[in-house]
């Protein structure tokens, strides 16, 4: 392998006492997550169509236009006015005729399975593809017929899933198992070959991360918002290719992988870059002349070529696609050893999970699996803080030279079930506990001015994150006389306090203020594409959109609202805008208590704070900041009123372990409000919002019922 193993002695915060025990826990978690996802879909199917639409769980009307050939594969085209659902790229759906008004088991029995690929609002076209295993039901689609789109149930139990098989390889004693277990216990691998100079100019912290990633594995690079982590990935991939390495760029989402591949082509136009995917089309990749390997024959030739020719190249694909060479070998053996698969008892004991582990280990040991470095010499994980460890394993099995790029201070893995904390850690967080001293932090942000950056830097990045001199004094490029106090260019951070009580998943007062501020910014010259509106609930987002459209029509404004993003914070991670408007929405104590871990998640708040380049405006009720959960109403907390903070043993910025207690997460958001109040950045906007709402309702533009 061209590497040496070094002992990271004594510095691991918790070395695994038993990899097998950890694998059993992960199999149990995967099973729990599968069942939680399945239950969520079953419960959704039990609702009426109207109820599913109200909860954003289905698309009520999509007209089938026909099938077109694209890159040798069939693509199903639908006419869709807008997407009123949560569905996004890669979601597996079931289609039933609108007239049938199906619900419950009818959806699963008669639904036609397709995968959501791309929705283009400007042309009102939805493109879908067949799942990897084609279904004869697609023949039932009729041109001109309108269909209802619902979520499909997840397909695999752990014993059938790639993630479960990856855990089998981890415990198998195969060569991959040896180096993976050593890494989990705190060992590192060194690579003595000298790294080439980077093909692009890097700042000092980026350069330190660059040299470190060449010299040892696992390499951990924490890239806070705007610090150029994709730029560093591009430099690393190009440098490794110049060492005649075959480099894999991987992650969970096609978007992050595509961004990395395009950055690589920008850095070195001569680099051999490929994308392996089941998707049928990518205009952006074509613009950079990146070949798309998206059909089974093309993929077969590609993988065989990696075995036959050891030439440098850079390939991008998801972790699931990266596991294909291993999965194909295990599938060959799957039927032959099915007699070893244990039956599921009524009570799931530890002995049962040991039997499941024994089964997936036997599957790995008896399957014809490739040896390490057969296909790739180095694997770079983008957005590694969103990958669960079993997911990351699917690409970690390729080579011991592993580079993880992410930020555990931002949004982590999406989890449906309420698992234990150590089971829901990202692979980045888990490895950070055992390899914290060798982790590198990118410390220069090219996005936010220093004032916008200061709070996140202190709370999440040990005060080390600084704005680059080119953006330190960045200000809002437009000004407004109508809302001068809220939109003042010299005030990068503003909290607009709107007093209300009892609001749940929508607040008309907040929505009308946010809509008017957005329109004022656009009328003042801000490009709609440089503005984003974020709230925690889709119901509030839809209310804001409705008010924006009505106000635009009344004022006869001509700019394109389709360029304006109105969405949840999850959809904004990895993006940036000149101005960010946030609506907190909630003021009802019962919902604040119910959604405590969601609304007061400090990582989610960090993402909110770090999307803006020059202006961040937060609109909400003070009840959001003064709320005390019933479980934490201690004498200490109450005595700190009127601004209740909780005592904590260790400041967040000093903690190595990314997992935070509920107390610490609450304190982050309360501390933000307290600092705004001290610095005079709280603007009372209740009267303004009430007047705007009265004016809006007088015009008879709205048909929204009164709360």
Q: What average pLDDT does the segment 145-162 reach? A: 84
Tokens representing residue 580 in the block? 């960010």
Q: DSSP assignment of 661-690, as one string?
A: -HHHHHHHHHHHHHHHHHTT-EEE-HHHHH
Report the DSSP beta bridge partners of residue 97.
147
Phi, psi of 203 (to 5 degrees): -80, 170
Least confident of 37-41, 124-128, 251-255, 341-345: 341-345
- Tell me what pLDDT residue 134 has: 65
Beta sheet of 577-583, edge-to-edge order: 565-567, 531-534, 577-583, 612-620, 493-497, 682-684
Residue the block writes with tokens 């089971």: 423
Band (608; pLDDT cuts 50, 70, 90)? very high
Selected residue with higher pLDDT from 232 and 37? 232
Task: Read off the pLDDT of residues 653-668 as tens digits, 9 standing for 90 and up.
Answer: 443 344 556 677 778 8
Average confidence score pLDDT of the chain? 87
Q: Report whether pLDDT(136) > 60.
A: yes
Selected residue with higher pLDDT from 156 and 620? 620
CA distance 405 to 12: 20
- Tell me what pLDDT residue 157 has: 65
Q: Report whether pLDDT(699) > 50.
A: yes
Helix (H/G/I), strand (E/B), else coil: 616: strand
Q: Report whether pLDDT(637) > 60.
A: no
Helices and strands: H and E segment counts in the chain = 25, 25
Band (3; pLDDT cuts 50, 70, 90)? low
Task: Read off the pLDDT of residues 26-75 as tens digits, 9 standing for 90 and up.
Answer: 998 888 888 888 899 999 999 999 999 988 899 999 999 999 887 667 88
Q: Which of 317, 324, 294, 285 has its CA nearest to residue 130? A: 294
Task: Read off the pLDDT of residues 310-326 as tens digits, 9 standing for 90 and up.
Answer: 789 999 999 999 999 99
Band (153; pLDDT cuts 50, 70, 90)? confident
Q: Sketch out the chain's domains with CATH numbers.
A: 48-151 (2.40.30.270), 158-407+423-442 (3.40.50.300), 475-628+658-702 (3.40.50.300)
- Tell me what pLDDT residue 648 has: 41
- Tell me what pLDDT residue 651 has: 41
Going from the C-alpha of 549 to that of each of 85, 128, 552, the distances in angstroms are 19, 29, 5
Task: Enumerate residues 6+ apart whose C-beta is below 8 A from 168.
Answer: 357, 359, 360, 361, 362, 363, 364
Do 3 and 401 contact (CB within 8 A), yes or no?
yes
Share of the chain above pLDDT 70, in %: 89
- Tell me what pLDDT residue 11 has: 37
Selected residue with higher pLDDT from 121 and 216? 216
CA dihedral 246, 404, 264, 120 (to 10 degrees): 110
CA distance 184 to 431: 7
| 129 C-beta neighbours (distance < 10 Å), count | 21
Kindly report the CA angle at 129 between 123 and 134, in degrees rounded to 5? 160
- Tell me what pLDDT residue 266 has: 94
Task: Read off the pLDDT of residues 105-114 as tens digits, 9 standing for 90 and up.
Answer: 999 999 999 9
CA dihedral 669, 675, 677, 678 (to 10 degrees): 160
- Tell me what pLDDT residue 559 has: 79
SS3 per-residue string spanning 195-248 = CCCCCCCCCHHHHHHHHHHHHEECEEEECCCCCCHHHHHHHHHHHHHCCCCEEE
Q: What average pLDDT does the segment 257-276 reach? A: 94
Tokens representing residue 607 in the block? 């993402």
17-23 long-range contacts, CB within 8 A, separation 24+: 19/170, 19/171, 19/181, 19/184, 20/171, 20/354, 20/357, 22/184, 23/167, 23/170, 23/171, 23/357
């Amino acid at each position: 392998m061209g590497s040496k193993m070094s002992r990271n002695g004594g510095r691991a915060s918790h070395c695994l006492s038993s990899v097998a025990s950890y694998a059993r826990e992960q199999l149990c978690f995967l099973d729990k997550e599968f069942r939680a996802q399945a239950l969520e879909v079953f419960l959704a199917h039990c609702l009426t169509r109207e109820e599913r639409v109200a909860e954003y769980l289905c698309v009520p009307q999509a007209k089938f236009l026909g099938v077109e050939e694209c890159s040798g594969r069939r693509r199903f085209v639908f006419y869709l006015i807008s997407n009123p659902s949560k569905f996004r790229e890669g979601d597996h759906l079931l289609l039933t005729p609108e007239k049938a008004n199906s619900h419950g088991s009818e959806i699963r029995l008669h639904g036609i399975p397709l995968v959501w690929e791309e929705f283009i609002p400007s042309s009102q076209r939805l493109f879908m593809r067949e799942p990897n295993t084609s279904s004869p039901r697609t023949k039932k689609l009729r041109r001109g017929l309108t269909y209802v789109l619902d979520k499909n149930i997840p397909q695999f139990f752990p014993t059938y899933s790639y993630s479960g098989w990856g855990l089998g390889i981890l415990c198998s004693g195969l060569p991959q198992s040896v180096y993976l277990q050593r890494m989990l216990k705190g060992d590192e691998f060194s690579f003595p070959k000298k790294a080439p100079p980077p093909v692009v100019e890097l700042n000092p912290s980026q350069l330190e991360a660059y040299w470190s990633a060449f010299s040892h594995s696992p390499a951990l690079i924490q890239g806070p918002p705007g610090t150029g982590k994709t730029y560093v990935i591009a430099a690393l991939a190009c440098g490794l290719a110049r060492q005649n390495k075959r480099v894999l760029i991987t992650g969970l989402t096609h978007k992050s992988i595509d961004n990395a591949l395009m950055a690589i082509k920008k850095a070195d136009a001569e680099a051999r870059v490929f994308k392996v995917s089941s998707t049928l089309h990518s205009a952006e990749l074509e613009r950079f002349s990146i070949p798309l390997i998206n059909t089974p024959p093309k993929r077969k030739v590609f993988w065989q070529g990696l075995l036959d020719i050891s030439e440098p190249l850079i390939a991008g694909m998801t972790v699931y696609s990266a596991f294909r060479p291993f999965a194909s070998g295990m599938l060959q053996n799957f039927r032959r050893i099915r007699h070893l698969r244990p039956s599921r008892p009524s009570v799931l004991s530890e002995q049962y999970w040991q039997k499941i582990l024994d089964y997936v280990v036997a599957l790995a040991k008896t399957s014809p699996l490739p040896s390490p470095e057969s296909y790739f010499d180095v694997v770079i994980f983008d957005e590694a803080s969103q990958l669960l460890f079993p997911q990351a394993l699917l690409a970690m099995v390729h080579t011991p030279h592993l580079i993880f790029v992410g930020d555990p201070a931002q949004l982590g893995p999406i989890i449906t079930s309420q698992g234990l904390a150590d089971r829901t850690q990202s692979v980045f967080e888990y490895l950070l506990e055992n390899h914290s001293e060798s982790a590198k932090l990118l410390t220069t942000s090219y996005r936010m001015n220093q004032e916008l950056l200061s709070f996140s830097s202190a709370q999440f990045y040990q005060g080390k994150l600084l704005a680059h001199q080119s953006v330190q004094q960045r200000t809002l490029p437009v000004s407004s006389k109508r809302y001068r106090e809220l939109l003042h260019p010299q005030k990068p951070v503003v909290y607009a306090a709107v007093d209300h009580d009892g609001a749940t998943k929508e607040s008309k007062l907040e929505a009308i203020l946010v809509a008017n501020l957005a329109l004022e910014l656009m009328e003042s010259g801000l490009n709609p594409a440089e503005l984003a509106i974020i709230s925690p609930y889709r119901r509030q987002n839809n209310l804001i959109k409705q008010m924006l459209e009505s106000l635009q029509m009344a004022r006869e404004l001509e700019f394109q609202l389709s360029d304006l993003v109105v969405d949840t914070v999850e959809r904004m991670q990895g993006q940036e805008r000149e101005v960010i408007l946030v609506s907190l929405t909630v003021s009802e104590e019962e919902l604040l208590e119910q959604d405590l871990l969601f609304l007061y998640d400090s990582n989610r708040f960090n993402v909110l704070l770090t999307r803006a380049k020059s202006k961040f405006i937060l609109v909400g009720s003070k009840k959001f900041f003064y709320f005390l959960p019933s479980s934490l109403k201690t004498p200490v907390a109450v005595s700190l009123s009127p601004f209740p903070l909780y005592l904590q043993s260790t400041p967040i910025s000093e903690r190595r372990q990314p997992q935070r207690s509920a107390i610490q997460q609450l304190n982050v958001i309360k501390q933000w409000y307290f600092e705004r109040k001290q610095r005079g950045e709280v603007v009372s906007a209740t009267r303004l919002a009430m007047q705007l709402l009265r004016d809006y309702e007088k015009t008879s533009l709205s048909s929204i019922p009164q709360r």
